[in-house]
Amino acid sequence: MTRPFFISLILTLSGIIFLFSSTKNDTGAHQSIYDFNATTLDGAPFHFADLKGKTILVVNTASNCGFTPQFESLEALYRKYADRGLVIVGFPCNQFGGQEPGGKEETEKICFAKYDVTFPMMEKTDVNGRNAHPLFVFLKDRLPGFPGKKIKWNFTKFLINAEGKPIKRFAPWDKPEKIDHYLENHIWKK
């Protein structure tokens, strides 16, 4: 065997080991969304345990994205089903094209003033990478996308049932109307 072959073999094996070690998500003892906390846009603690028995839709959002108008449909969905136990929780994120570059004030201006959002909005949050919020590590582990677990863009949506278990992942281009259909046919089916 030649030296270049062994070098190639070592590099290949090292790459495989790195790939498996870097994609492993430690979700620890987290069994449901109720094990997580976050911080609201106003800086207040937000405990998912307070939402026990509710159906939850977690969305990573951005104020300057082509999908930003989904805030309007998400708010309509929230108002339609709030009395049936739906809670939408938005997490502004600046990891996709720098589309959430501003601070709290800019996010509030878009969400609350422009789109009249009344569902809870959290502080700016990383959803991928080393600094990803543990909630998103958990959600991606339970509902991997294609290809891979990574969130690909703003307005990826995770539906969690009333027992706190993630049950469905929706792509950014899946409009809230599709979620409405899913809720009617799978969650609140009579």
Measured torsion, CA atoms of residues 74, 173, 101, 40, in degrees rounded to the nearest 10 = 30
Model confidence pLDDT, tens digit, residues 102-146: 999 999 999 999 999 999 999 999 999 999 999 999 999 999 988
Confidence of residue 17 (pLDDT cuts 50, 70, 90): very low
Q: What is the pTM of this model?
A: 0.84
CATH number assigned to the domain covering 28-187: 3.40.30.10
Confidence of residue 31 (pLDDT cuts 50, 70, 90): confident
More confident: 133 or 22: 133
Where are the domains positioned within the chain? 28-187
More confident: 38 or 190: 38
SS3 152: coil
Q: What is the pLDDT, as a whole number, of residue 29? A: 65
Model confidence pLDDT, tens digit, residues 2-14: 766 555 555 454 4
Q: Which residues pair with 159 in a beta bridge?
A: 57, 168
Catalytic site positions: 65
Q: What is the pLDDT, as a whole number, of residue 14? A: 47
**Whole-number mean pLDDT of the chain?**
88
What is the rounded CA–CA span in Å between residue 123 and residue 165? 23
Element (H, E) at 169: strand 166-170
